[in-house]
Structure 1
């Protein structure tokens, strides 16, 4: 008996359980396909977060240098915040993607 992640709620449950005690999802003998589906969903979620962060980063760069000159005033602060949060968010997402791929191997 081992602890595995529930395919629906990702909480730890016994590998011998027939239903998840947390979300009451039925766990048939087809647990491998449930695990594969949850892995694909998590991969897609991480890729979507990565795309959102990259879009925020690009928006910050475009806002900061739109029209060939450097932004000033509040526009510069907004562009800088979008640039920084987008860049840091993208790095964090990429690290999470790498760790997720290593976990699946």
Structure 2
């Protein structure tokens, strides 16, 4: 007997159990479809994070060059912060997407 992870609630349960004691879902065909649904939800969440990071990156560039000249003062600071966090967030999220696809 081994401990496995429930595909729905992610709690540990016995490999010989027919139902999860936490969420009461039956193990078998339903658990495969639940695992697939969880994988799709995770992919959608990662794509949303990627989109938000890219939007932040673009906002930083727009703020930095607003008015046709390079920004100064607070505008430069806000633009640079948005640019850096957006770029770093986008790269990190893309790596997470690749790792999630390899896992699936």
Shorter-chain-normalised TM-score: which range? 0.7 to 0.9
Conserved 8 A contact 2:6-2:20: no
- Alignment gaps of 5+ in structure 1: none
Check 1:66–1:96 CA distance in 2 against 1; reply closer, same or farther (3 A cut): same
| Superposition deviation, residue 15 in structure 1 | 4.0
Following TM superposition, the consecutive aligned residue runs of length 4 or more in structure 1 with deviations greater than 2 angstroms are: 1-17
Deviations 1:70-103 (A, max 9, x none): 1111111010000000000000000000000000
Aligned residues, how many?
Answer: 102
Q: Name which one, 1 or 2, has greater alpha-carbon Rg.
A: 2
Length-normalised TM-score, structure 1: 0.84
Residue 53 of structure 1 corresponds to: 53
Query: Aligned runs of 1:84-103 on 2, under 5 Å?
Result: 84-103=84-103
- Indicate whether 1:63 and 2:60 are aligned: no
| Superposition deviation, residue 3 in structure 1 | 4.8
Q: What CA RMSD, in Å, does the superposition of the two structures yield over aligned residues?
A: 1.8
